[in-house]
Structure 1
């Protein structure tokens, strides 16, 4: 076990890494979340037409879930090579895959043009997106985590985590513009514009990422005498407790993201809100996250990761019913109020995740372990939630199942975070085992 302190970069290099990770993650999430929004607006008509609109919506959200299913696969694949040969090269590769898949979605033929081939191609490209983002988050997070001073690891991860709401703002903003088109134009060609525009973002992102340096923690570990495991995935699953807890902690924030963003458009329009109001509500969500994420991330450096995540999880358990009661009023201002309240709780759970999950795994398996925990949480919490909600509401809109989903996923996060030790300030260089000793003994859970 290493006794040296965790190496970190000089301030100028750290800023370059953080900005690169922020912008790169924003571009990745623009592409990934753009698909989610378009699923709710047009894909059920363009790729899954049928006599029953509800079944078309379920099929469209099924392709959304396919991308989430692919995310853990991407975490394992890119995590393996990221742990074996380095973080930086995987970041460049994942961004290229994501950008290419998004651009190709923008030129796909519709169901009306080529029949069943169209949805099959859509699912294939969605899977490519999922694999790419499954590897991207872990690499971006570790580059920041492993360059940062341990005392400010949460703060710098918060900068990187802001890429998610920025990407959401970009995608929602572009969708808000094209949503002003008449329905016929939106369905025939307008939906393609945001996907085609991603090629410009890809070029900018690749330029930024190529210029950053490799993680100093990884370089030190690679130069050390202790050999890395040949297959990091196997080293983690042999001791699965930490991975399972990492996944469980992330289920709450991902489920809430799905309920407040992609599925909220479908639900809000189904109960009488116009499409423009529902899309504008997403802008409120993303704007709130831009403020809340860095604040909660910095707070986790002061009070710890556990209290911040626990506070957000308890918050959504308490607020699940009031949030949907406000949405069900039909009032646009109350809709926005509900979305902001939900987003504050989501940000408290989400903001510390990058630092927390990175601190739960040793350097030799950190890319794989953090990616798997995060992406399995994304699959279970974010990928299946809209699909389950669509199936539960096939006979008509009702907030009761949505309240149950939000409350249940929040409770999963509460139970899992209570089983994890505090990781704030942990020396990454001292975690020589496959996983950090983060699991509390049973008698200590409530201390």
Structure 2
């Protein structure tokens, strides 16, 4: 397999769309991830100090989950706007909302300063973050794949997916140095630094996105008059099976990711005695390798069947669930890094890199933003929001080592994703790469009719 040449990778405008999707979504996920890490490391102490240790952790994770409950709101708002006004305008709006919300978190007063108002304001801003993400992911996917060359749909579709581990790497590096500060400085002002950076990063993302034209496929849809007056209602009324399948596809990859990046970090600190910086270093090493793997999978799936690669990753996730926790429970840093890295590369990268373009292919152009946004938002509600809470409730991070219920949950979500993948298999089996190399992506409009069942 050779590296794509500039001509096969795309035109200048296509590459700019890829970059805008990658950078803009990286900024948004950076804002999102620093909250998750801060919720794990400091928020229970500065926003919920009156609660017991484990209860404070649960309350902190609850504010983390609020954003996922807000995602459907963002999906309804921005899905509608994206299918009515266009992908570009909507994505600029979501980036603005995310950057402003994140920056304002950095100037919030704490419990010691304003009491109960501190967690209330924190929760409100986290809700706005969730609204922004509810509209961001779907639009970023479409901006990239709808401008993609025919032979690079999977790679282009992986742009917002690559943004996730890239943002995780950046957020982990920042939080690693912040966590090394003396505890008093960390809790008083150090934790604010990453959030204040949100004001700066949003400007960078905005400059890049303003330089991208509207999606070529949406422009064509407007030209021929196929844009729907109420795209969200159209999706809900005529394509509920596709939405359900899109939600199911993301089950195992989301639960795996949030177990690793939130709950297991707390477990490493509270049970195994690792310092905050040590746990972040474990995550950083695994995330960097995951980032490289994501790019490789995106390139590979333009030559092989994305569906087959996706299902292989889901099967691996279920098979590795118990070994993952067994290795992690040793408390050995080397074995923990191996466990994290293996799970992220073979379970996360193989599924996450292609689930974006696979979900987009379930819906026709005129309602695609709404359909993809609904799938992403409700997948967050179903799988991401409850994961840290359920994990902390079933296996408290204050000393319990009975981790088997968490491995069982991971196996269960793998079964859900496996079932969803088979339900939509025929949506991909009939489409082959135009160059005849065995891939299954041609153009996004070459798909089953919008009204067909899954």
1:414 to 418, 433, 441: 418
Other-structure match for 2:183:
183
Alignment of 1:156-175 (within 5 A): 156-175=156-175
| Structure 1 residue 182, shift from structure 2 partner | 1.4
Distance (whole Å) between structure 1 residues aligned to residue 394 and residue 9 of structure 2: 50
Deviation digits for residues 234-288 of structure 1, max 9, x if unmatched? Answer: 1111130000000000111111110111112111112222222211111022102
SS of equivalent residue, structure 1 residue 261: helix
| Structure 1 residue 125, shift from structure 2 partner | 0.2
Deviation digits for residues 309-338 of structure 1, max 9, x if unmatched? Answer: 111110011101111111111100001000
2:377 to 352, 375, 378: 375
SS of equivalent residue, structure 1 residue 418: helix
Alignment of 1:2-41 (within 5 A): 11-41=11-41
Other-structure match for 1:235:
234
| Structure 1 residue 51, shift from structure 2 partner | 4.3
SS of equivalent residue, structure 1 residue 360: coil
Aligned length: 430
Contact 1:293 1:348 (C-alpha < 8 Å) held by counterparts: yes
Alignment of 1:2-401 (within 5 A): 11-226=11-226, 228-238=227-237, 239-272=239-272, 273-344=274-345, 345-394=347-396, 396-397=399-400, 398-401=402-405
Root-mean-square deviation (CA, aligned residues, Å) is 1.7
Distance (whole Å) between structure 1 residues aligned to residue 297 and residue 217 of structure 2: 25
| Structure 1 residue 404, shift from structure 2 partner | 1.7
Contact 2:144 2:159 (C-alpha < 8 Å) held by counterparts: no
Contact 2:71 2:135 (C-alpha < 8 Å) held by counterparts: yes
| Structure 1 residue 9, shift from structure 2 partner | 11
Deviates more, 1:10-19 or 1:35-44: 10-19
Distance (whole Å) between structure 2 residues aligned to residue 338 and residue 9 of structure 1: 34
Other-structure match for 2:437:
none
Deviation digits for residues 189-225 of structure 1, max 9, x if unmatched? Answer: 1100110112111111111101100011001111114
Contact 1:359 1:426 (C-alpha < 8 Å) held by counterparts: no
SS of equivalent residue, structure 1 residue 352: helix
Distance (whole Å) between structure 1 residues aligned to residue 150 and residue 392 of structure 2: 43
SS of equivalent residue, structure 1 residue 429: coil
Residues 10 and 406 (structure 1), Cα distance of their counterparts in 2 relative to 1, 3 Å cut: closer
Contact 2:83 2:228 (C-alpha < 8 Å) held by counterparts: no
Normalising by structure 1, what TM-score? 0.93
| Structure 1 residue 427, shift from structure 2 partner | 3.4
Distance (whole Å) between structure 2 residues aligned to residue 330 and residue 201 of structure 1: 36
Deviation digits for residues 370-400 of structure 1, max 9, x if unmatched? Answer: 1111221122221110011111123743321
Normalising by structure 2, what TM-score? 0.91
Contact 2:73 2:134 (C-alpha < 8 Å) held by counterparts: yes
Distance (whole Å) between structure 2 residues aligned to residue 340 and residue 175 of structure 1: 20
Residues 341 and 430 (structure 1), Cα distance of their counterparts in 2 relative to 1, 3 Å cut: closer
Contact 2:314 2:417 (C-alpha < 8 Å) held by counterparts: yes
| Structure 1 residue 10, shift from structure 2 partner | 5.7
Contact 1:9 1:147 (C-alpha < 8 Å) held by counterparts: no
Contact 1:363 1:431 (C-alpha < 8 Å) held by counterparts: no
Unaligned runs of 5+ in 1: 1-7, 440-447
Deviates more, 1:153-162 or 1:343-352: 153-162
